[in-house]
Structure 1
Amino acid sequence: MVVSFLVGFFVVSLLVEEPVILQQPLYFDYTLPQPVASAQIKGAGSRGRALPAGHKVIVTLKLLTPESNFNLQVSTEAISSTGQVIAAFSQPCMLRFKSLPVRLMKTFAMALPLLIGVQTETQQLVLEVLSYKEEFRRTDAIKVRLTPRAGTLDLPQIYHAEILLHTQLPRRKEVVYNWKWTLCVWASLYIYVLLLIVVFCCFKPFDFLEARAEEVAEAAQYRGHGRLEDVKVSEKFTEAVSRWRGMERRRRRIGQVAQRELVEGSASSAAGETSQAIEAYADCAASEIAS
C-alpha cells in the first residue's frame, strides 16, 4: 500500500504542470537616454526548463520612486533566444500628484517619523506591463525601457525596481492542478489494484505448487494415519473374535454339562417310578391271594 501511494504521488507529480512564478530585481542603465533593464527568464520554469508552451504569461512591474511630478512611458518586450520580439506593450506611468499645500501639511504632520527614518517620502507603483500566451518560441528575457515625457529629458529617480512574472495554466491543466491531491489518491488506489492483479497473476503458480505440496504431504500423513487406524481396527477385531470364540466354547461346555445332568435325572426318575409300580402290583396280588 505504501509503495502504491509513493508511485502514485510520483506519477502525478510528473504529469501535473505547475504555474511558474518568478521575481527578479531590475537595474536600469541610466547612461542611456532611455534607461533599459532586462531580466533573464530562461530556466525559470518548473524543473529548470523554459516557460511551458500554452501558458498565459503575465508580467508585473514594481517601481519604488520618490514623490515627484514626473511622468514617463514604460515599454516592455518579451525577447526570444534568437533576439526576436515575441510580445511588446507600452503604457504611460502616471505618478500620484500631490499639491504643494498637501505636501507641506503632510511633512509637518510626519516631521518626527521622517526625521527618525520611520517614514519616507516614497510611493510604490505596480503596473501590469505585459500579458501574452507562450508559444513554441520560448521567452528568453523581458526587457523594460523607460521613456521620458515628450518635450522633457527628466526621469524620476527609482529607488528599487523589480519584475514579477507568473503564468496561468490552460483550463484543463488548471483543473488537474487544482485537483492534484485527489488525483494522487485515485492514482495510488489504481496502482494498488494493478499491483495486486500482477502479484496474483505472476505468483499464483508458485502458490499453487506450494499448496499442492502441502496437500500431498497432508494426504501422505492421512494415509499413514489411516494405516495405523486400520491396524488398530484389525487388532480390535481379532481380539473380539477370540473373545467370542472363548464365550462360545464356554457355552458349549455349559450345555454339555446341563445335558448330562438332565439325562441322569431323567434315568433316576424312571427307575423310581418302575420300582413304585412293581411294589403296587405286588401289594395288589397279595391282597387277592388273601381273599
Structure 2
Amino acid sequence: MLLALLASGFVLGGFMMRHLIEKPIQKVETLNFDYTKTSPVALVPIISSSVIGSRFIPYNHKLQLTVSLTVPESEYNRKLGVFQVRVEFLSGNGNITACSSYPCTLRFKCQPIRFVEIFLKSAPLIAGFQSESQALNIKMNKFTEGIEPTACLKMTLEPRAEYQHGAGIPQVYAASVALESELPKLKKIIWYWRRTLFVWASIMSFLTELVFILAFCRPMIVQGSGKPRIGSTARDSHSNTIFRSKRTRREGLLYIKRI
C-alpha cells in the first residue's frame, strides 16, 4: 500500500510540475535572402497563418535574437567595410511592433597574418575540409513581446549611405537566426530548480495521501489488522493447553508433599 501511495505521489508531482513549469523558447531558422531586391530581405514566419490568434512567444517575455552570417574572405568583402543588418518584428497584420539594427564588418587581418594562416591551413584548404570564410554572430537588442503577437521576422541587409542604389551588399555563404526567450524571474527560478521541486512535490503528495488515509480510513485498517489468523489461534490454544497441564502437575506434587 505504501509503494502504491509513493507511486501515485510521484504521478501527482509530475502532473503539477507539468502545469507549473514553462520552458524557454529556443528556435533556429535558416535565412534565405532575396538578392533580386536592392536590399536583400529574408522572412522568417514565427506562427502559422492558419491558426488565428495563436502566439509563439508568450506575453511579456524577453527575446534574444542572434543573426549568424557565414561570409567569404574575398577581396570584395574585405573592401566592403561596414554594412547594416536590420531586423523587424511584424504582427499578423503586417504592422512593425519592434525594430533593431546593428552594424557589422569582417574581422580585420593584416596581409602577413593572412599569408601565414593560408600557409598553415594549405592542406585542409586544398582537401576541402576548410574554407576561407568568417562566421559573424550579431546579437540584437532584447525584444519584449507585447500584447500583439509577433507573426514574422524580417531580416534586411543594408549598405552604408555612401554606396549607390543596389551596391554595398556583402557576399554571404549561409545565414541563420537563433531565437531564445528569457523567462520572468519567478518562472526562471522554477525552471532551474525543476528537478528539486519535482521531488519535493512528489514527497508532499505522498505524505498528504498518507495522512488522509490514516485520518479517515484508520478504523478500517485497525479492524482489518485486529482479526486473528487461523495459524496464530491454533498456536495460542496449544500453548494454553501445555500451560494448564504443567500447572495441574505442579499442584498435584504439592498436594502429595503435604500428605
Amino acid at match of 1:115: I
1:197, CA displacement in angstroms? 3.3
Instruction: Tell me the matched-pair count.
Output: 218
**What do residues 99-125 of structure 1 show as CA deviations (whole Å, max 9, x unaligned)?**
455545544554443222133111110
Partner of 1:79: 90
Partner of 2:17: 12
Kept in 2, the 8 Å contact 1:114–1:120? The answer is yes
3-state SS in 2 of match to 1:17: coil
Task: Give the 3 Å change call, closer, same or farther, for CA 211–129 of structure 1 in structure 2.
Answer: closer
Partner of 1:63: 69
Kept in 2, the 8 Å contact 1:60–1:130? The answer is no
Identify the structure with the greater helix proportion.
1
What is the TM-score normalised by the length of structure 2? 0.73
Map residues 33-44 of structure 1 onto 2, 5 A cutoff: 33-42=38-47
Partner of 1:2: 7
Amino acid at match of 2:100: F
Say whether 1:89 aligns with 2:100: yes
Say whether 1:182 aligns with 2:191: no
1:201, CA displacement in angstroms? 4.6
Partner of 2:149: 138
For the aligned residue pairs, the C-alpha RMSD in angstroms reads: 3.1
Map residues 192-231 of structure 1 onto 2, 5 A cutoff: 192-204=206-218, 206-207=220-221, 214=227
Amino acid at match of 1:31: T
Amino acid at match of 2:151: D
Kept in 2, the 8 Å contact 1:27–1:37? The answer is yes
**What do residues 142-169 of structure 1 show as CA deviations (whole Å, max 9, x unaligned)?**
1110112222413121111000010111
Structure 2 CA distance for aligned equivalents of residues 81 and 182 of structure 1 = 40
Say whether 1:30 aligns with 2:35: yes
Greater alpha carbon shift after TM alignment, 4-13 vs 25-34: 4-13
1:74, CA displacement in angstroms? 0.8
1:28, CA displacement in angstroms? 0.4
3-state SS in 2 of match to 1:118: coil
Runs (5+) with no aligned partner, structure 1: 216-220, 226-291
Kept in 2, the 8 Å contact 1:80–1:137? The answer is yes
3-state SS in 1 of match to 2:175: strand
**What do residues 196-224 of structure 1 show as CA deviations (whole Å, max 9, x unaligned)?**
23334554464577579x59xxxxx9xxx
Kept in 1, the 8 Å contact 2:55–2:149? The answer is no
Structure 2 CA distance for aligned equivalents of residues 59 and 131 of structure 1 = 7
Equivalent residue in structure 2 for 1:164, among 178, 186, 189: 178
**What do residues 159-207 of structure 1 show as CA deviations (whole Å, max 9, x unaligned)?**
1100001011111111111111111111111211222233345544645
Task: Give the 3 Å change call, closer, same or farther, for CA 96–207 of structure 1 in structure 2.
Answer: closer
What is the TM-score normalised by the length of structure 1? 0.65
